[in-house]
Structure 1
Amino acid sequence: MTENTRFKAGELLHLRGQSLSRGEPVALPLVQSSMYHLPGQPDESPGYGRVTNPTWDHLEHVLAHMEQAPCLAFPSGMAAIAAALFATLKAGDRLLVPSDGYYVTRRLSERFLAQLGVSVEQRPTATFADGGFEGFAVVFLETPSNPGLDVIDLKEVSSAVRSSGGITIADNTTMTPLGQRPLDLGVDIVVASDTKSPGGHSDLLMGHMACRDESIMEAAREWRTFSGSIPSAHECWLLHRGLESFEVRFERMCTTAGVVAERLQDHPAVRSVRYPGLPDDPAHALSARQMDRFGFLLSLTLESEGKAEAFINGCSLLRPATSFGGLHSSAERRARWGDAVDPAFVRLSVGCEPVEELWSALKQSLDNL
């Protein structure tokens, strides 16, 4: 992690404290109200809970500090993705999405945007730049891809898209602003699921969108207000609490993931491992250039579907669950959701367990196969 990122992480803890008056609570208050005292003509004061809320206002202030760009909070990562797409696309536009990225983004595009007159096209992450970007209004990126962990050159692709007259949207869920900063590499819009490691405790659904173009942000803000795609005050409060320990958790998770990935390579039950931090990983050189950390997600492929299930279910320190980024290490076979991966492919999300204790449990489960 860069010194600049460390400084921002420390400053984040005191964003609220720097503006407090004597006697005010240090912890962020939870404001749950659908209406506000508003006599006379409406002005800039809060008026209705679908438009604004003091708790989510402060959360957006913290998220903006992390992204170094204006942010909007949403009730899920997919709500943030939907807002970014609907704010930037119109009938007749062409949209390019990764064929091996998060499948719900593809389904949203194919099921709803296509029937509204948007032409949706797909390319695999590893060869995403092949064919160029001429004629695309919006190019949606996801790097590392979920679940395959292939990587796109964000600086090169965003520059090419801009030269062709389009805009880029990057899903930065797997890396977060602490591991990778797409806006600084030229991407126009960042979206992310804060359900994952920013929240960190597997007890909320949230997402955000960040962009330095005010016209795009205003369109997304209107989409949120008119569609009702707003976060609840309680989830905002939970996410804010999670963000205060985020840097500490992320550092430990990434460090542990690097150790685990190296050791998995040497286990005889493991056919292959993907992790951007491994020197021989196909994505390593590019990842080292554009990431501050290599993340906490890795994948391993075992001999068969049955052994993959036995490994997951037989490990005392793995939760067999979908999603990722929580305190608890978790794993799943992504083929069960229809991802184009080997049936024995396992996505492993490394949590905050002590590294030697976690490795001992993983090794024991692999030894028992």
Structure 2
Amino acid sequence: MNDDNARRAARLLHHRKAGLAPGDPVAPPITPATTFHLPANGTGAYGYARAGNPGWSELEAQLSLLEEAETVAFPSGMAAISAALFACLKAGDRVILPADGYYVTRVLATDFLRGLGVAADFLPTTGYDTADFTGAALVYMETPSNPGLEVCDIGAVAARARAAGARVVVDNTTMTPFLQRPLDLGADLVVAADTKAPGGHSDLLAGHVAGRDPVLMARVGDWRRLSGAVLGPFEAWLLHRGLETLELRLERMCASAGTIAERLAAHPAVRGLRYPGLPGDVSHRLVGSQMANGGFLIGFTLADAGVAERFLSACPYLAQSTSFGATHSSAERRARWGDAVPEGFIRLSAGIEPVEELWRGIRGALAG
């Protein structure tokens, strides 16, 4: 871990200390209130739960330390993505979106944004490095892409997008701010599904938007308040708790992913292995500069859908579930959701199991 991440990890754990009075709880309390005391002509920090909650404040203080930027929390990753898009776009605008990124973002663009007069063009992630952004109002990146783990150079793309007059949004879900920092590389906004590694326990939906432009972030906050896309107090508490162990979990997850990926690459049943942390992977070019390491996601292909499903069923240490970034390793056959991948393609998310035991389970399932 570099010194900056060490500092962020330590501050996450102690960010409440300065504001504590004698006898205050060290952990933030859950405040399940929708209304707050507002006497005549009185004002308070909170008035109505759609506009603010003490739990959000604690969580957003924590996320802001991690992002080193103003942060607004949302009830899901897609709620955060929606807020960023609606804060940046208006009728007549054109947005560039990844053709190989999270498919729900594309569905939102085609089924709703286009109907509101926003044109959406789709590019493969690797095409961003050379694309012409003339006429675009917004360039939206997802790198590494989900599920293919393709990358583009955020700094270079952001510079070219800004020169063309476009804003830049980066989906940083697959990396988290500990492993990649889009705002430092020129993004106007970063979005993330905190349902994944930040929450880490498969028990909450959450997301956030972060940015350093106060005017733009005010629009993001207004979108949350006016649309009602608000996070519950219990979910805010769960995410606050999950963030306290994020750095520690990521260290194990990424180390395990590197070990598993290297062994999968040498296995005769596996083809098309993708893991940015491997020197031979085409996405490795940005590891060590833009990306701190190869992350915790692995992509690979087995012979066909049947073989892939049998592997998933046979491995005792892979949860057969969608999503990723949890304490338990998980995997799924992504073609069943309509991603443009081979029928036997598997996205594997390394968890925090002891790596040798995890590998024994994977190796045994591949042999079966």
**Normalised TM-score (structure 1):** 0.98
1:2 matched residue in structure 2 = 2
2:94 matched residue in structure 1 = 94
2:25 matched residue in structure 1 = 25
Measure, in 1, the Cα distance between the counterparts of 2:255 and 2:11: 23
Question: Which residues of 2 match residues 50-129 of structure 1 at below 5 A?
Answer: 50-129=50-129
1:175 matched residue in structure 2 = 175
Question: Which residues of 2 match residues 137-286 of structure 1 at below 5 A?
Answer: 137-286=137-286
Q: CA deviation at 1:109?
A: 0.8
Which one-letter code corresponds to 1:241 in the other structure? R
Measure, in 2, the Cα distance between the counterparts of 1:251 and 1:6: 12
Contact 1:151 1:287 survives alignment (8 Å): no
1:362 matched residue in structure 2 = 362
SS in 2 for 1:290: coil
1:322 matched residue in structure 2 = 322
Contact 2:38 2:44 survives alignment (8 Å): no
2:293 matched residue in structure 1 = 293
2:353 matched residue in structure 1 = 353
Measure, in 1, the Cα distance between the counterparts of 2:39 and 2:116: 41
Q: CA deviation at 1:317?
A: 0.3
Measure, in 2, the Cα distance between the counterparts of 1:85 and 1:321: 28
Q: CA deviation at 1:285?
A: 1.3
Measure, in 2, the Cα distance between the counterparts of 1:185 and 1:6: 20
Measure, in 2, the Cα distance between the counterparts of 1:191 and 1:124: 19
Misfit runs of 4+, over 4 Å: none
Measure, in 2, the Cα distance between the counterparts of 1:7 and 1:288: 19
Which one-letter code corresponds to 2:92 in the other structure? G
Measure, in 2, the Cα distance between the counterparts of 1:64 and 1:235: 17
Aligned length: 368
Across the aligned residues of Structure 1 and Structure 2, the Cα RMSD in angstroms comes to: 0.9
Q: CA deviation at 1:287?
A: 2.8
**Greater mean deviation of Cα atoms: 123-132 or 92-101:** 123-132
Which structure 1 segments of 5+ residues have no match? none
Q: CA deviation at 1:303?
A: 1.2
Measure, in 1, the Cα distance between the counterparts of 2:338 and 2:180: 28
Q: CA deviation at 1:342?
A: 0.4
Which one-letter code corresponds to 2:172 in the other structure? N
Contact 1:97 1:122 survives alignment (8 Å): yes
SS in 2 for 1:83: helix
Measure, in 2, the Cα distance between the counterparts of 1:6 and 1:293: 15
Contact 1:97 1:139 survives alignment (8 Å): yes
Measure, in 1, the Cα distance between the counterparts of 2:58 and 2:263: 42
State the identity %: 54
Contact 1:139 1:168 survives alignment (8 Å): yes
Contact 1:149 1:275 survives alignment (8 Å): yes
Measure, in 2, the Cα distance between the counterparts of 1:42 and 1:140: 43
Measure, in 1, the Cα distance between the counterparts of 2:191 and 2:245: 21
Measure, in 2, the Cα distance between the counterparts of 1:316 and 1:246: 25
Contact 2:329 2:349 survives alignment (8 Å): yes
Q: CA deviation at 1:347?
A: 0.2
Which structure 2 segments of 5+ residues have no match? none
What's the CA shift string for 1:90-122, capped at 9, x where partnerless?
A: 000000000000000000011111000001100
Q: CA deviation at 1:18?
A: 2.8
Q: CA deviation at 1:240?
A: 0.4
2:344 matched residue in structure 1 = 344
Q: CA deviation at 1:156?
A: 0.2
What's the CA shift string for 1:246-294, capped at 9, x where partnerless?
A: 1110111001000000010111111121000000000101233201122
What's the CA shift string for 1:175-228, capped at 9, x where partnerless?
A: 000110000011110000000000000000000000000111111111100100
Measure, in 2, the Cα distance between the counterparts of 1:135 and 1:19: 47
SS in 1 for 2:168: strand
What's the CA shift string for 1:110-169, capped at 9, x where partnerless?
A: 111100000110011111233311110001100000000000100000000001101010
SS in 1 for 2:120: strand
Which one-letter code corresponds to 2:149 in the other structure? L
**Greater mean deviation of Cα atoms: 313-322 or 283-292:** 283-292
